[in-house]
Amino acid sequence: MADVRGVRTERLKEVLERINRGENPEKVRKEAKDLIENIDAVELSLAEQKLIEEGTRPEELRGLCTIHMEMLKGELEKLKAKVSPGHVLHTLISEHDEILKFLDMLEDLNFRIQKMERFDAESPDFPKLAHVAKHLVEAELHHRREEDVLFPELEKRGITGPPRIMRMEHYELRGKKKRLLELANAVSTMNFEEFKKELDEVAKFIIFNLRDHIFKENYILYPTALESLKDEALWENMRKTCDEIGYCCFTPAQARQPEL
């Protein structure tokens, strides 16, 4: 089984290299889909990890993630059905649902603000922007639970590539989210055209990259964790550590409470 997995991982690695070289997109994407249909999340993670170890930049793996995304619609509900409220993964997925709502709100707000000709202190859109930005920054506790609790357990089992990519993306997004909050709080004192320009750049970066990040965690990282960490006692200890770190202001109450 290990040899078969190794062969498929090597084939997937070769296909991804061809995607990144821009070789015949339709043909290569079909080959990638055929391969992905027959592998699990752990194998995909191992293939990504092998590429990184051989010098591929993490951002170059997004071509494979995009193909994987197309094939995994509907899989998230199956994953959630395997874990109960209070389970570490159930809570993280529930928080992702809330974060995605904030991203939708940010997209709508940015669209409306870009059409404004001047700052209007009476407009409800600016307090809403500050509200969204505050909650995106508040997601730091979500990332801490991943980085301090979930990722180390995967790394102990040799799964180092995906956590490395996720940490890198957390770092990139952290600065952008803080800047979004700064902009939201400073709009009344800024040149409005300059404000709109920077808001558009920062908001679009966060919206695109955080949606992409959440998809990779939901459909690649979390299934890998569920397949790799089989000990229920370990998950319970992880949950207790998560409790000590704390939860976001938007974490659904049911998600953080274990079933009695």
Q: Enter the tokens of residue 169.
A: 């993306």
pLDDT at residue 66, rounded to an integer: 62
Confidence class for position 67, pLDDT limits 50, 70, 90:
low
Task: Using a pLDDT cut of 90, give the percent of the chain over it.
Answer: 58
**What number of CA atoms fall less than 13 Å from residue 185's CA on the CB side?**
8
In the chain the beta strands, taken as DSSP E runs, fall at none
* Residues 145, 208: Cα–Cα separation, whole Å: 23
Report the amino acid identity of residue 103: L
* Residues 203, 135: Cα–Cα separation, whole Å: 14
What are 118-166's pLDDT values in tens digits? 999 999 999 999 999 999 999 999 999 999 999 999 999 999 888 998 9
Question: How many other CB atoms are found less than 10 A from the CB of residue 116?
Answer: 14
* Residues 256, 212: Cα–Cα separation, whole Å: 24
pLDDT at residue 33, rounded to an integer: 73
Residue 219 DSSP class: I
Highest mean pLDDT of the ranges 41-50, 134-143, 215-224: 134-143
Residue 125, CA distances (Å) to 129, 185, 233 in order: 6, 12, 46
pLDDT at residue 13, rounded to an integer: 74
Q: Which phi and psi (to 5°) does residue 230 adopt?
A: -95, -15
Confidence class for position 215, pLDDT limits 50, 70, 90:
confident
* Residues 145, 236: Cα–Cα separation, whole Å: 14
Confidence class for position 260, pLDDT limits 50, 70, 90:
very low
What are 153-202's pLDDT values in tens digits? 999 999 988 899 899 999 999 999 999 999 999 999 999 999 999 999 99
pLDDT at residue 45, rounded to an integer: 64
pLDDT at residue 79, rounded to an integer: 85
Q: 82: closest CA among 70, 71, 90? A: 90
Highest mean pLDDT of the ranges 13-27, 64-78, 133-147: 133-147
Tell me: pLDDT of 70 over 70. no
pTM of the model: 0.76
Question: How many other CB atoms are found less than 10 A from the CB of residue 63?
Answer: 19
pLDDT at residue 219, rounded to an integer: 86
* Residues 132, 99: Cα–Cα separation, whole Å: 9
What are 92-104's pLDDT values in tens digits? 999 999 999 999 9
- Enumerate long-range contacts of 8-13, CB under 8 Å, 24 or more apart: 8/35, 8/38, 8/39, 8/43, 9/39, 9/43, 9/46, 9/47, 9/50, 10/50, 11/35, 12/36, 12/39, 12/43, 12/44, 12/47, 12/64, 13/47, 13/50, 13/51
Tell me: pLDDT of 1 over 60. no
Span 73-97, mean pLDDT? 88
